[in-house]
Amino acid sequence: MQKEQNFVKLWQNVDTLKYHLYPSLTITSQDITFYNLLIDKLLGLKVQSQTKRNENKSVAEFQHDFKGSLFQVSPATVRGFSVTIQNADVTIHLKKLVLTCDQSPFCKVEFRSSFLQRFGYLGAVQKINQFLKENIISAYQIKISEIHLHCDVQGYTFSVLDFHRIKSRSRNNRYYNDENSSTDSFYQNGRKFQGFMRGGGDYLMRVYNKTKEIKKFPNKSFIETLWKTHPCYDSSKEVFRIEFQLRREKLKNMVINDEILDGFEVILNNLNNIWSRCLEDFSLRDLDDKNTLEIMLGYKTAKDGSKLLLESETVRKRFQRSEIHPLWHTIKTFNGHVKTDVIETFKKPFTTDFLYVHNAFKAFLSTTLSHYGNVLPSTICDAMNKIEEYTNFKHERTVIQDVYSKRLDRFNRLEKLGKDDEILYEQKHTFVNRVFDHIEQSYDHMYHWDVSYDSNDYFIKKFQKFLGEAV
């Protein structure tokens, strides 16, 4: 352990920021016309740029001047958008704006890390938002799609053992290999440990040697200038970066003061609380090397030399008894702002409301109608045949068995609040079996509709009437 060392918090900021623009309620037809005309101009430049690229010629000349701000028009773009423009500060993806009931984003903005560090995240955001309103479209709503918060520290050298000191609920944990960028091995250069990752996808933590990264990628050396502003910075010591990545799917399931972290302002106004929540979800514990090594190996060595496997409960109690590592106390604030509110996780209610059955059945019929063009009994039967084949192929079980398994999973998560709940939990297999006996009978009846069905059946007659067929 490295308790005696002085930990130095060199620099902290937003390292990555991506957000989408959606139409505002105040948008006018004039705004939309102006915006779409701009897209037509940019698309013209994109076509010319593609031609030059195909001829292996430079495409640097294809730029658009936004009142003195030059943006390169890229010959390619990302999925879901029509054209991409970029400069040294940001990349902006655009597509034509068509108002619909279920509105998708018409613009995506990606900030360069160097831009965020030079101006600060608030200054950078204000600068780009002003540019968007003056040059792209005057009225819009912003929703953050991805944000990375980071802190650069000196005085603590992370090792492989620290990967196992992290207390986290995440099961998706990885090391990295600096030589081949594999997602299944250490982040290291030769025998030198570089870092690790805990979590994955929408929510994760990265810890890596920033000094080594700069040596490998000199274009990232701009951050060293900012480190030097700290009076305790020592150029002879390595700097490690602790970084948390959050995407919108995770953010919109977080709640603070009964408000979902879905809006632009609420997220930027609560970065201190988001940072604190990240430190709690990925908590570095003050475990000594002996205990940590045993957790990593999965066993401990007895006095007689025999190896005793560590039970999961033993590991859990070790983490439970441990204290938060002093380094986590050093970096507990975000740019000097302490935690002010608790961020909770929004949980979807466990419900058996018939509305869910109603919506699911309508969704099945609607999708079937879109795919086949009708919802005749033979069509429904064909759809269910394919569902059965797909389930057998993917899960090696019938549809009924698959649904049964999922239903039991939900019963296993049932919160036992009273005696009635305990009885239901104990008899879950009997209860589910009785329910599925009835379902299976109904399923078999529907499954054989293509063989024969009663033309006078009330349900069938109602479908025929709906489809305009003669009854």
Residue 345 lies in a domain: no
Q: Are 146 and 277 contained in the same domain?
A: yes
Same domain (yes/no): 321, 367: no
R_g of the chain, CA atoms, integer Å? 29
Note whether 34 and 160 are same-domain residues. Answer: yes
Query: According to DSSP H, which parts of 222-300 are helical?
Result: 222-227, 248-251, 264-268, 271-281, 289-297
User: Would you state the pLDDT for residue 379?
Assistant: 82
Positive or negative: CA dihedral 264, 265, 270, 271: positive
Whether the pLDDT of residue 207 is over 70: the answer is yes
Flag whether pLDDT at 341 surpasses 60: yes
Q: Does residue 77 contact residue 99 with C-beta atoms inside 8 Å? A: no
Asked if residue 374 is part of any domain, the answer here is yes
Q: What average pLDDT does this structure show over 337-362? A: 75
Q: Which long-range contacts link 201-204 to residues 24+ away (Cβ below 8 Å)?
A: 201/172, 201/247, 201/249, 202/246, 202/247, 202/248, 202/249, 202/250, 203/170, 203/245, 203/246, 203/247, 203/250, 203/281, 204/170, 204/172, 204/244, 204/245
Residues 168-205: pLDDT tens digits?
877 555 555 444 333 333 455 555 778 899 988 899 99
In contact, 39 and 50? CB cutoff 8 Å: no
Rounded Cα distance between 340 and 280, Å, is 14
The pLDDT score that the predictor gives to residue 71 is: 95
Locate 139 and state its tokens: 């009225």
What are 296-340's pLDDT values in tens digits? 999 999 888 899 999 989 999 999 999 999 999 999 999 999 999
Cα dist from 84 to 47, 93, 259, whole Å: 12, 4, 33
Does residue 280 share a domain with residue 187?
Answer: yes
Domain closes at, from 296, 330, 364: 330
Residues 310 and 424 in one domain: no
228 and 275 share one domain: yes
Mark whether 123 and 250 lie in a shared domain: yes
**Residue 38 within a domain:** yes
Q: What would the two tokens of residue 223 be?
A: 């951050």
| 342 within a domain of the structure (yes/no) | no
Tell me the pLDDT band of 399, cut-offs 50, 70 and 90.
confident
Q: Smallest Cα–Cα separation from 267: which of 279, 253, 281, 280?
A: 253
pLDDT for the residue 331: 96
What are 6-37's pLDDT values in tens digits? 899 999 999 999 999 998 888 888 999 999 99
Does residue 337 sit within a domain?
Answer: no
Say whether both 15 and 142 belong to one domain. yes
User: Dihedrals φ, ψ of 399, to 5°?
Assistant: -60, -45
Quote the domain boundaries for residue 168: 8-330
Q: Is residue 402 part of a domain?
A: yes
Asked if residue 53 and residue 180 are part of one domain, the reply reads yes
* pLDDT(411) > 80: no
pLDDT at 362: 79
pLDDT of the residue at 364: 82
Same-domain check for residues 360 and 326: no
- Asked, for residue 340, whether it belongs to a domain, the answer is no
Q: What is the mean pLDDT of residues 384-395?
A: 81
Domain edge (last residue) among 295, 330, 365: 330
Coil, strand or helix at 260: strand
The more confidently predicted of residues 439 and 48 is 48
Distance CA 443, CA 420 (A): 30
Strand ranges for 295-355 from DSSP E: 299-301, 307-309, 344-345
- Whole-number pLDDT of residue 25: 82
Query: Does 192 lie in the same domain as 74?
Result: yes
Average pLDDT along the chain = 81
Q: In the numeric block, which tokens belong to residue 209?
A: 């040697």
Gap between the Cα atoms of 170 and 197, Å rounded: 11
Please report how the helices 428-447 and 399-412 are oriented relative to each other, as an axis angle in degrees rounded to 10.
Answer: 150
Q: Are 355 and 362 in contact (CB under 8 A)?
A: no
Going by pLDDT thresholds of 50, 70 and 90, the confidence category of residue 469 is very low
Residues 6 or more apart in contact with residue 16 via CB below 8 angstroms: 111, 113, 116, 146, 147, 148, 245
How many domains is the chain built from?
2
DSSP result, 424-467: HHHTHHHHHHHHHHHHHHHHHHHHTTTT---TT-HHHHHHHHHT
The pLDDT > 70 percentage for the chain reads 76
What is the H or E stretch that residue 100 is in? Answer: none
Residue where one domain finishes, among candidates 330, 365, 384: 330
Whether residue 341 lies inside any domain: the answer is no
Q: What is the separation of C-alpha 458 from the centre of its chain, rounded to a whole number of angstroms?
A: 47
List CB contacts of 35: < 8 A, sequence separation 6 or more.
96, 97, 106, 136, 137
For residue 116, the model assigns a pLDDT of 95
Q: Do residues 110 and 242 both lie within one domain?
A: yes
Q: What is the pLDDT of residue 418?
A: 52
- pLDDT tens digit sequence for 425-455: 555 555 555 555 555 555 555 545 444 444 4
Q: How many CB atoms are located within 10 Å of the residue 131 CB?
A: 18
Token pair, residue 105, equals 């984003």
Tell me how far apart the terminal alpha carbons of the chain are, to the nearest angstrom. Answer: 82
- Give the rounded percent of residues in the chain with a pLDDT score beyond 90: 52
* 254-256 and 344-345 strand pairing: antiparallel
Euclidean distance between CA atoms 142 and 148, whole angstroms:
17
Q: What's the token pair of residue 240?
A: 């490690």
